[in-house]
Structure formats: C-alpha cells, structure tokens
Amino acid sequence: MKQYHLQHADGASSIFEVEVPLPEPGAGEVRLRMEASSLNYRDLLILDAASKGGLNGRIPLSDGAGIVEAIGDGVQNFQVGDHVAASFFRDWLDGPFRPGYMPSAHGGAETNGMLAEYVVLPATALVRAPSHLSSVEVACLPCAAVTAWHGLVVRAGLRAGDTLLIQGTGGVGLFGLQFAQAIGARVILLSSSDEKLARARELGAKVGINYRTTPEWDAAVLAATDGEGASHILELGGPDTYERSIRSVAAGGHIVQVGVLTGFGSTPDLMRLQWQNADIHGVTVGSVAHFRAMNRFIGDHQIRPVIDRIFAASDINDALAHLRSGRHFGKIVVRL
C-alpha cells in the first residue's frame, strides 16, 4: 500500500510517496480503506515546522474519510463496508477538553495523519458519515466543520436572529456560513476578493466587506448593524484582526477564538470586552461527540461542503501550494 510521508531535505519539507506493508487492526481497532483527505491551514503550519527539521516520516493531514475494511477483536459498533471519518483528536471522545488530548491530533507532531491508502485507528475515534455525502465531501468535515460547529453552536450558542461576522472564505469560514444559514443567523462576511464575496452572497451571506479595499472593516460592521455590532465573531485572523473584532462585537456578544492566519500571540486591548460584557471562547477543533452531533445537523439540513478543487494524492505538494496561494474558496481535497 501507499503512504505519504513528510521529508525534510535541503532546508525545505515536502511529501513523498512510500510503499509499506498493509497494517492489521489489533483489538479495538479498525482498518479503513481511505477514499479522500482534505487540507487545512494547519497542514501548512506542520509543513513549515517540518522544514525547520524533524517530523521526518510523519504521515500528514488530520482529515480523512473511508470505508471500514477489516475489524479487530472486540469492535462492536462498526461493520465492514461502513462509511466513516476519523475525528481530529484520536483521544478526545466526549466531555471538556483536557491538555492530554493534544498529542493525539492526527497529522500533528506526535500522531500520524490520514494521507495513506489504508489507515488503522481505534474504533472509538471514528464517526459514521452523513448518508447524503460522498467520501470526498465527508473528508472536509473533521477539522474545519467541527471547529465551526463546536465554537459557534456548542460554545457560543449561535441562534436564529443572531449576527455572525466571519473572516474569509476558507474551510472554517464557509462552514460557519453554512451553519449560520441553516440556523437562521445573519452573516456578515469579510474577504480579500469581490468575486469571492459574490459567491458567499449566493450561499446566504447578507453583507460582504472587502477587507483589502475597506481595511477599517470594523466601522463597516458597525454600520451594517445599526451601531450595535455582531453578536458572534468567528475570529480567524489573529494579531492583525483582533482589535477590529473586539471593536465589532455587540454587547453581550461572543468572540470564537480559532485562527492564526496573520500569526500567533495576539495582544489586544480587552477593556472593550469588559464594557460590552462580551465573552471569548477559545476553541481547539472538537470531540468525537461534537462530530457526531454536527453530522446529525448536517444530515437534517442536507448541508454539502463547498469544495474548491480535488487533487490526486500524487499531487499533494501542488494541493498544498494551492492552499498557500489563498486562491481557494472552501475546501481543497485529495482523492486516494
């Protein structure tokens, strides 16, 4: 079988195909025949970390979907032929996050990811795919969709009539838009591109603001909300966006802290949050239980992920370059 490994050479990292023996599932484990993987901004961070040395031989990509092909002893809840996805964290099954779950993030520094023809995983880390979706679509869900769901719906309680500000038209942003649309919340969306804003309006965004041509977008958000601000903000930018997000939040509002698109280590002035009685929710993707609940919602509302482009697995380095270019709208998928 083919696997794909991070390899560091001459100051840069890329991903190489290798041949390895087919893995056998042990007790409590399942072997999946993988059909698709999807890319996340995090995969660029992992690739860049690998370029500084280390991570050689790590299988990348947190997200994957496939079909159960073999079952180890004691597995009760899955059968050969089931369509499933792996949860982002192998070990975060339910309940609140614990720091001990962090190393179990698939495709990270300490746990292999999904870019392989076959993957063996504990059955507890799997969720059944929504029945209306293909494996290519299911592969878009584990990181971006679960993050948007957990942050906006579980933690920040997004409801009909709320106003959600979203930064950008990448994976997390567009799942946030689709969930808000299904819930009945009003979306204000930021993008660097008028063409992407037009596409986001077709998906239900009510207000589009180009953050390149309107760098003071917080003023535009206040203008679009009669001076009140957005009740919910999906904060994806980081240091370059945080101050404006805080200036955009409504009284009693919620900032869902997710992204690092402009770097790490935001140091915003938090006083306005105090005056506005607003909350920040820090989010790291979500649990298996969040993924299951989200899939029920996705099934009930027949939501389909927005897919920008599908690459062959052998073109994984081109797929990552496309993600880095920022030209995409929604998810980039690799077919296995």
Ligand X SMILES: NC(=O)c1ccc[n+]([C@@H]2O[C@H](COP(=O)([O-])OP(=O)(O)OC[C@H]3O[C@@H](n4cnc5c(N)ncnc54)[C@H](OP(=O)(O)O)[C@@H]3O)[C@@H](O)[C@H]2O)c1
Residue ranges that bind ligand X, judged by CB under 6 A: 40-42, 143-144, 147, 167-173, 190-193, 196, 211, 236-237, 240-241, 258-262, 283-285, 323, 326
Q: How far apart are CA 266 and CA 288, in angstroms?
A: 29
Return the number of the residue (83 or 196) whose C-beta is nearest ligand X.
Answer: 196
Kindly list the distances between the CA atom of residue 97 and the CA atoms of 46, 142, 175, 196, 267, in Å, as whole numbers in the listed order. 22, 16, 22, 34, 24
Q: How far is the CB of 151 from ligand X (least distance, A)?
A: 8
Q: Which of 128, 86, 88, 80 is nearest to 108 (CA)?
A: 88
> Contact, 130 vs 302, CB < 8 A?
no
Q: How far is the CB of 260 from ligand X (least distance, A)?
A: 4
Return the number of the residue (113 or 168) whose C-beta is nearest ligand X.
Answer: 168
The dihedral of CA 133, 138, 142, 145: what is its sign? negative
> Contact, 63 vs 37, CB < 8 A?
yes
Q: How far is the CB of 299 from ligand X (least distance, A)?
A: 22
Q: How far is the CB of 257 from ligand X (least distance, A)?
A: 7
> Contact, 93 vs 288, CB < 8 A?
yes
Q: How far is the CB of 170 from ligand X (least distance, A)?
A: 2
Return the number of the residue (37 or 193) whose C-beta is nearest ligand X.
Answer: 193
Q: How far is the CB of 241 from ligand X (least distance, A)?
A: 5
Q: How far apart are CA 203 and CA 208, in angstroms?
A: 12
Q: Which residues pair with 309 in a beta bridge?
A: 332
Return the number of the residue (7 or 262) whose C-beta is nearest ligand X.
Answer: 262
Beta strands in 72-217 (DSSP E): 83-86, 118-122, 126-128, 163-167, 186-191, 207-210
Q: How far is the CB of 61 from ligand X (least distance, A)?
A: 12
Separation of CA 226 from chain center: 32
Return the number of the residue (30 or 224) whose C-beta is nearest ligand X.
Answer: 224
Return the number of the residue (6 or 61) whose C-beta is nearest ligand X.
Answer: 61
Instruction: Find the residue with minimal CB distance to ligand X.
Output: 170
* N residues, the chain: 336
Which DSSP state fits 270?
Answer: T
Return the number of the residue (124 or 284) whose C-beta is nearest ligand X.
Answer: 284
Q: How far apart are CA 92 and CA 289, in angstroms?
A: 9
Return the number of the residue (31 or 281) whose C-beta is nearest ligand X.
Answer: 281
Q: How far is the CB of 142 from ligand X (least distance, A)?
A: 10
